[in-house]
Amino acid sequence: MKIAAIQMVSAIAREANLERARALLGEAAAAGAELAVLPEYFCTMGARDTDKLALRETPGSGVVQDFLSTAARELGLWIVGGTLPLEAGDDQHVYNTSMVYAPDGQCVARYDKIHLFFFDNGRERYDEGRVIAPGKTPVCFDLPSRDGHRWRIGMSVCYDLRFPELYRALARRGAELLLVPSAFTRTTGSAHWEVLLRSRAIENLAWVVAPAQGGTHENGRQTWGQSMVVDPWGSVVAQRASEEGLVLFDLLAEDVERARTRLPALRHSVL
């Protein structure tokens, strides 16, 4: 199955971001991708964290959801919409939600980011919990690929990457491919991004696909980029350093089976 990890440098205006995302999704479809994954916050990198509140959508209805559904249908693509803000039951918080659309335009899975980023080194400070409500439930979905294989795909977002128990839970549910749409900061990304992605692949003997934000944004934030694909043995097989564009790669299901047969660590887990 050919996948496209889409790297962006999202701006403040939602409409401009959707226009760029549509162009990149079109490139992915033209290149033969079956699954395209957008990064976290693909639809907006606001001037302030609270800007998300004004853009929150009701599940099943909204500008960004309609965009994703239409793009999936028109392009014949499976699309994972990095994240978008969905209402969370009060006026001060939203869910940071990743949504999956099948080629018929139907939403087939929703994952609300569980772990919320906090970082303060005295110069940079981030506190997602101020405006984002945490999700509670790990999510997998099934994707029947053109070659006849039915892929089991586990969902996650950015800061989740630091919590291996989530990925082990996904692997126990049969996940062969782990998605990590992200917006890692330049500071934390330069230190930890690649080693964490490779670790999650190695621990679970699964493909990892991680589309990221990658550059200097209109709001001044700097994101690390390095969107990448990691194979089930932990090797980085494709990546893009910075700025917008695609990371394309053909995933082989037999690589997962081969790795898990050769080193059956998942069966040896006792805790």
Write out the catalytic residue numbers. Answer: 40, 113, 158
The residues that bridge with 230 in the sheet, in sequence order, are 208, 236
178-207 b/e (C-beta count within 10 Å ≥ 16 → b) = bbbbbbbbbebbeeebbebbbbbbbbbbbb
Nearby residues of 165 by Cβ (< 8 Å), 6 or more positions away: none
Between strands 150-155 and 78-87, the pairing is unpaired
Nearby residues of 150 by Cβ (< 8 Å), 6 or more positions away: 142, 143, 144
Q: How far apart are CA 165 and CA 28, in angstroms?
A: 32
**Which residue in 101, 98, 96, 48 sits closest to 72, CA to CA?**
101
149-162 b/e (C-beta count within 10 Å ≥ 16 → b) = eebbbbbbbbbbbe
**Which residue in 151, 180, 177 sits closest to 163, CA to CA?**
180
